[in-house]
Structures are given as C-alpha cells and as structure tokens.
Structure 1
Amino acid sequence: MKIVDISEFYSPTGGGVRQYVDQKFAAASRHGHSLSVIAPGTEDRIETRAGGKIIWIKTPQLPLDPNYRMFWGKEAVFAAIDAEKPDILEGSSPWRGGWLAAKWPGNAVKMLFMHADPVAVYPQTLLAGKLSPKNIDMLFGWYWAYLRNLNSHFDGCVVAGSWLAKRFQRYGLKNLHVAPFGVETSRFHPGLRDEALRTEMLAQCGLGPDAALVLNVGRHHPEKRVPTLIEIVKLAQKDHKIGFFVVGDGFIHNTIKAKADTVPNVHLAGWVKDRELVARMLASADVILHGSSAETYGFAVAEGLCCGTPVVVPDSGGAADLAAPAYAETYTPGEAEDGARALSKILIRDRAVLSRAAVTAAQERIGDLDGHFDKLFALFESQLTKPIRLREPVICEDAYVSPEHV
C-alpha cells in the first residue's frame, strides 16, 4: 500500500508530531507499506527513510513559531502527490495541508487525520475563565461549519480517541474512525524509578529529598497552560513542600520563565532529548501535573502511568480520558485554585497505592504504538475495497450550531 501523508506540522525541531511521524515510518517498514511524507521545509529536497521518504517542499516560516513552516502554493505539493501515485492520501491537519489533500484532483482514497481539537486548542485555552466551554463552542459555530465542509471532501476521518470522535460527531462530522494512540510500553515502566535521580531533580529545584517532586513534560505552547501549572504549584506550596521540575521548550518559553521567576522551587530544564532519561524522570517523580485539555491523547500522561506515577490532569480532553480516581485527581481546565486543590489532595494520598493502581490501569488501558499502527493501516486497507465517493464540495453556510449539536 502506498501512503502519502501531507504533514503540515512535521519539523526536524518539532515535538510530538515529529516523534509520531518517525514512528510511523518504522511501522510502515514493518508492515511492508511505502510511506511518503510531504512536509514544509527550508529547501526542496528528498530525504530517504526506512519505510519511505520525506519530500521537503520549500515554504515560508510560520510567523509565530520559527520551529515550523507553512505550505503556500499548491503546485509543488500536487506535483509531489502526482509523482507518488498514492493509494491513500492523508491530510494531517485541518488547515492548509488538509485542504491541499482535499483539493488534489486524483483518485486516491482520502483520509483526514485530526490530531487536535482546534476549538479546544485555541479559543477554549485563550477564553478560559471568561466563557464556559459550551458557550465557546457555540461562539465558534462558524468553525464547526468550516470543519464539516473540509470533512465532506474526505472518505473518512481518523481520530485517536473515542471521546473526540463523539465530540466531532455532535458537531456534524461524518465517517469517523478511532485508532487509539499508544506509547512505547517497553520503555516506560515503574522499574525505572531512581531515588538518586529524584534527589538530583529536587536539588535543581532548591529542595531536599523530603519535598514532593512534581513533574511536567511538554511543549511550551499556550494550550499546555504551563503558567497556570506554575500558579497551581505556588498555591499548593502554602501547605506542601513542592519542587516543580518542568521539561520542555517552545515559543512561549520566555513567558513561562517570567512566571517561574516569581515562584520558588521551580526549575525549567528545557528540552531533554534523551528519551531514556525522560522515562527515568517520569518514573522518579511523585506526581505528574498536566495542563492541556485540548490534546487528543495525553502522551506524557500515558507514559507516566506506565511508569506507575500518579497524575493531576484537567477534567476534559485526552489526558482526562486516561484518568481514574484510583490514581488521579482532576480539576477544571485553566483554574489554578481548583488545580491546587487537586494537587494537594493527591499529595496526601499513599503514593505506593496510587502507583500500583496506575500500573494496573496502564496494563489494561494503554496500548503500544504497534497496536495503533496495526489499526490505522488495517483501516486504510479496508477503505481500498470501498468505492471512492463523489467529493462534490459541500458549502456549509450555517455559522450557527443547532442545539442538537451541543
């Protein structure tokens, strides 16, 4: 099977998307498929990979984040698709990349992969505390109409969680398929807990081993709400001795640093590229504190649970889908006081009991990446046996979302 993926947010310096695409190449190779990823780059070139290749197309830089670039004209992308002659054409974003896949005039099966919930990523993050999530969804009815229009050009739409499929279905998207993500379960396990590393991490926070080590891992992007997490820690420090160790970087890093400078015992470690070290950090933390309610799947949370580390997460989104009372506490997204309540509550619980429950849940609920790609490729193959439907543009003029969609 020949798969072409228009991957708008693939970047050599990217985070989760880069890791996912790299793992997708390895899976394609194992399954005997050919994967060609079309990505925006600094120059036109082809990079050979096991399992396929990356077709870099010279494009301008994304203004807000120098790590990423953006597709502009369609000619070079269409020419690359024509040359590849795909069986499956995948659009991996709801923006320019998705529309390039939608408008390509060839006969491949077209699949839209929604790696995020854009309304949750942007409006619900920026308007948190001002409007309820329900009212924000209503306010952005025009965007749901836009997404229904894009969706109508594809033979199917893939999401990584059943919760997101249900949410998209409520707003009128069709032909939804779930291929749950997974993590490298062999790499993340409770046996990696290292008291010496824990002591070292707390020392970098300016504390001794008698303090609680709270960890966050992720991109420094508004949707991750790291400044809110720092405020949560600040409030919880009134009752607990807490060191907050933050792994990550991104275009709002300076904002995060400014916030961290106002709160004691917060250490910004930057990116940690050594995945084995990240696994040991996740296992050695006492609690993982997570801020995003917009992710389709909480990778760092899932990896932490595999390590037996309890979590504090927002009560909606992909991370919430992984949480349960036996090993987690939840809070209202973006609400620092509620987050501090949840963090304080988990810190007085028995970590050994929480850890055992987390490991059991991980074994029962969190699959590995091989399972995800098995399901994804099986889905693609099943689509090849179906007639490609007529893709007449569906113009969605209704900016208002009717009550049955809420």
Structure 2
Amino acid sequence: MRIVDVNEFYSPTGGGVRTYVDRKMTILGEMGHELIVIAPGREDRVEERAGGRIVYVKSPGMPFDSNYGLLWDAAPIHELLDRYDPDVVENCSPWRPAWIVTDWPGTGNKRAIRSFFVHNDNVEAYPKRWFGGVASPQAIERAFAWYDRYQGRFLDRHDTVVTNGPAMTARLRARGVRVDATMTLGIERRHFSPAFRDEELRAALLDECKLPPGGHLLLGIGRHHPEKRWPVVIDAVGRAGAKLPVGLILLGRGMATKALERRIGESPHIRLFRPTYDRARLAAIMASVDAYIHASDAEPFGLVGYEALASGAPLILPDAGGMAALADPLYTETYRARDAVSCAEAIGRFFARDQAPIRAAAAAAADGVLSDEEHARRLIAHYDAVIATATARTA
C-alpha cells in the first residue's frame, strides 16, 4: 500500500506530529508499505528515508510560528499526487489542505481513498483558551459550532475519519463531528524503558537546577506555545519550591520561549533546554527524573506522556485533555487544569508520598503502553477495509 500524507503540521524542527510520522514511515516500510509525506518547506526539496520520503513544497511560513508552514497552492500538490498515484491520501489540516485533498480528481480509473487523521482540536486549543476566563466550555462550544459545521463539509468528502485516541473521539462526537475509527497512537517501545534510569544523569540534571542529589526533579517536554500552558507549571514549581527542593527541566523551543524565560526570571531551579532528537538520550532523561509534569488541557493525545510512562516515570497531570486518560492514582497526581496553585499542591502531595511504590507502579504500567507497530498494523487493516468497501461500491 502507498500512502501519501499531505501534512501541513509536519515541521523539520520537531513536534509530536513529526515524531509520529517519522516513526510510522519506518514501520510501514518494514511492513512492505510506503509512506510519502508532502510538507511545507522553505524550498522545494526531497529527503529520502527508509520506508518513504519527505517531499517539501516551497510554502509561506505560518504567522507567529516560524517552525511551521502553510500549504496553499493546490497545483504542485495535485501534481505530486498524480505522480505518486497513492492508494490512500491522508490529511490532518482542516484548512486549505483539506480542500486541496478533496478536490484532487485522482489518476485514471483509480480513486485513492481520502483519510482525515485528526491530530488536534482547534476548538479546545484556541477558543477555549482565549475565552475560558469569561465563558463556560459549553457556551464556547455553542459559539463556535460554525467550526464543526465547517469541518463537516470537507469530512463528508473523505472516505474515513480517524482520531489519534479515545479522548479526541469522545470530544468530537460529543459535538456531533463525524469519527469513523479510533486509531490510538503507540510509541517506539524499544527506546523507552525503566531500565534506562541513570542516577548519575539525575544528579547532573539536579545540579543544572542548582539542587543536590537529594532534591526532587521534574521534567516537562513540548513546544513553547500558549496552548501548552507552561506558565502554569513554572508558577507551580516556583510555589512548591518555597517548601521543597524541587527543580524543573523543560525541553522545547517555540514562539513563547522568550516569554517563558521572562516568567522564570532569576529562579535557579528551572531550566530551559532545546529539544533532544537523540532517542537514547531522551529515554535516559525520562527514566531518570522523579516525575513527568504536564500542563496542556487541550492536548489531543499526549504522545510524550506515554513515552514518559513507558520509561517508568510517574506523572503529574491536569484533570482535562488527552493526557488525563493516563492518570492512575498508583503513579499519578492530578490537579485542576490551568490552576498553578492546584498544580503546586499536586507537586507537594506527590513528593510527600513514599516514592518507591510510586515508581514501582509506574514501571509496572510501562509494559502496557501500546507500541507504534501495533498502531500501524491497526491503521493498515482499517485502510484495507475502507478500500475494500470503496471498491465494492464502484464495482
């Protein structure tokens, strides 16, 4: 099977979508399939990969976030689709790419199926963040029901609509948005394990936070973007640090980096580092911290949280969003989403507990995290079924 993914959210500088797509390409190649990604770039170029390739189309940059671009011109994308003649065309952007994909006529007598893969929910990520302080979630959903109706117009022209997990499926269906299948994401299990815990690395990271080996070490990972709500965690760690020797390592970069640096100020216990793309290094960091902490309540799935749990890291999570599905009292403390005081209290509760059984419970749960190979097999089986139905309909 050849899949062409017209992916406006694929960024050469990183992000959850890139992590997912890069690994998926490798897995599909090992299964005998091919994944070709059409992504916005600063120039036209092709990166050959095992299992497929990344085809960058010269595109304008996205306003306010230079890590991403905008696929706007249909002609070069239709030309590429004609050239590659896919069995499946995937798309995950609800804006211009959704219409570019639906308007592509296909090649010859063959009609590739169109799949819309929901990786994010713009109602959660933007209106609920912008207006959450002045209106209820239900009122915001009613005010932006036009967006769900808009989505319906292009989803009606797709052969299948899939989401990246049960939280996203429940959220969309509650608003009347079509979902045909839940394709829960998996992680690259071989890279993440509690066995990679390194006490020397932990001590070195605590030293970066100007804390001794007996201090407490938290880790956060993700883009520096307002929807990630890192100020909640930064403020919470500052509050908790008044009573506890707690440090925070944040891996990431983005449009809000300067704002976060100002928020941190002179605190010696909170450090920002660039993201690491060395999977072994990342896995060792995850396995060596005392807990992974998250802030976004608009997270559609939370791949990094699953990687942290597979590394045996306990969790401190908001009580809303895709990551909340990971919460288990045996190895998790939760707090009211968007509430730094509640988050600080959760940090305090977490470190007041006996750490050995918490870490043991997280290590036991690590074995149950879904692998990305299983996700890929389920996705291909779903596409095979959709293709068979479409073929029978036109026979």
Q: TM-score, normalised by structure 1?
A: 0.91
Q: Which residue of 2 aligns with 1:404?
A: none
Task: Tell me what 2:389 maps to.
Answer: 386
1:338 equivalenced with 2:342 (yes/no):
yes
Q: Which residue of 2 aligns with 1:394?
A: none
Q: 1:144 aligns with which of 144, 148, 166?
A: 148
- Mean alpha-carbon deviation: is it higher for 167-176 or for 229-238? 167-176
Aligned AA for 2:60?
P
Partner residue of 1:31? 31
Helix, strand or coil: the match of 1:53?
strand
Distance of 2:392 and 2:256 partners within structure 1: 43
Q: Is the 2:115–2:162 contact (alpha carbons within 8 Å) kept by the matching residues of 1? A: yes
Superposed, 1:169-188 pairs within 5 Å as 169-188=173-192
- What is the distance in 2 between the residues matched to 1:175 and 1:124? 21
Cα displacement (A) at 1:276 = 1.3
Q: Of the candidates 270, 291, 295, which is equivalent to residue 291 of structure 1?
A: 295
Q: Which amino acid aligns with 2:155?
A: N
- In 2: Cα distance, 1:163 partner to 1:182 partner: 15
* Preserved contact between residue 8 and residue 97 of structure 2 (Cα < 8 Å): yes
Structure 1 runs (4+) greater than 6 angstroms displaced: none
Partner letter of residue 369 of structure 1? D
What is the Cα deviation at residue 154 of structure 1?
A: 0.8
Give RMSD over aligned pairs.
1.8
| 1:95 aligns to 2:76 (yes or no) | no
1:265–1:161 CA distance, 2 compared to 1 (3 A): same
**1:34-45 maps to which residues of 2 (within 5 A)?**
34-45=34-45
Partner residue, 1:397: none
Q: Tell whether the 8 Å contact from 2:168 to 2:301 is kept in structure 1 after alignment.
A: no
Q: d(CA) in 1 for partners of 2:43 and 2:320?
A: 40
Q: CA deviation at 1:152?
A: 1.3
Shift of 1:264: 4.3
Deviation for aligned residue 1:389: 11
Contact kept, 8 Å, 1:205 with 1:265, in 2: the verdict is: yes
Aligned counterpart for 1:240 among listed residues 241, 244, 247: 244
Change in 2 beyond 3 A, CA 1:389/1:332: farther
CA shift at 1:263, angstroms?
3.7
- Cα distance in 1 for partners of 2:377, 2:299 equals 22
Distance 1:26 1:242 in 2: 39
Partner deviation per Cα, 1:239-290 (whole Å, 9 max, x = no partner): 2121111111111110111111154411112222322121111111111110
| Distance of 2:80 and 2:350 partners within structure 1 | 52
Please state whether the residue corresponding to 2:357 is helix, strand or coil. helix
Contact 1:111 1:155 in 2 (8 A): yes
The verdict on how the C-alpha distance between 1:338 and 1:134 changes in structure 2, with shifts beyond 3 A counting, is farther
Residue 9 of structure 1 is matched in structure 2 by 9
1: CA distance, partners of 2:98 / 2:23: 21
| In the alignment, structure 1 residue 104 sits paired with structure 2 residue 104 | yes
**Residue 92 of structure 1 contacts residue 113 of structure 1 at CA under 8 Å; is this kept in 2?**
yes
Alpha-carbon distance between aligned partners in 2 of 1:281 and 1:129, rounded to the nearest angstrom: 36
1:252 aligns with 2:251: no
- Decide whether aligned partners of structure 1 residues 69 and 229 sit closer, same or farther in structure 2, where only a CA change above 3 A counts: same
Match of 2:199 among 190, 195, 201: 195
Distance 1:327 1:23 in 2: 28
Task: Give SS of 2:191's match.
Answer: coil
Q: Give the TM-score, by structure 2 length.
A: 0.94
Aligned length in residues: 389
Tell me the SS of whatever aligns to 1:355.
helix
Aligned sequence identity (%): 38
Q: Determine the C-alpha separation between the residues in 2 that align with 1:245 and 1:44.
A: 36
Larger relative contact order, structure 1 or 2 (CA cutoff 8 Å, min sep 6): 1
1:315-374 Cα deviation digits (max 9, x unpaired) = 12221111111111112221111111211111111111111211222323x111111111
Answering whether residue 153 of structure 2 is matched by residue 122 of structure 1, we say no
Q: CA deviation at 1:173?
A: 2.1
Contact 1:155–1:388 (CA under 8 A) maintained in structure 2: no
User: 1-side partners of 2:119 and 2:392: how far apart?
Assistant: 24
1: CA distance, partners of 2:124 / 2:391:
32
* Structure 1 gap segments, 5+ residues each: 391-406
The amino acid that maps onto 2:233 is L
Read off the aligned partner of 1:91 and give its amino acid letter. Answer: N
Matching residue of 2:77: 77
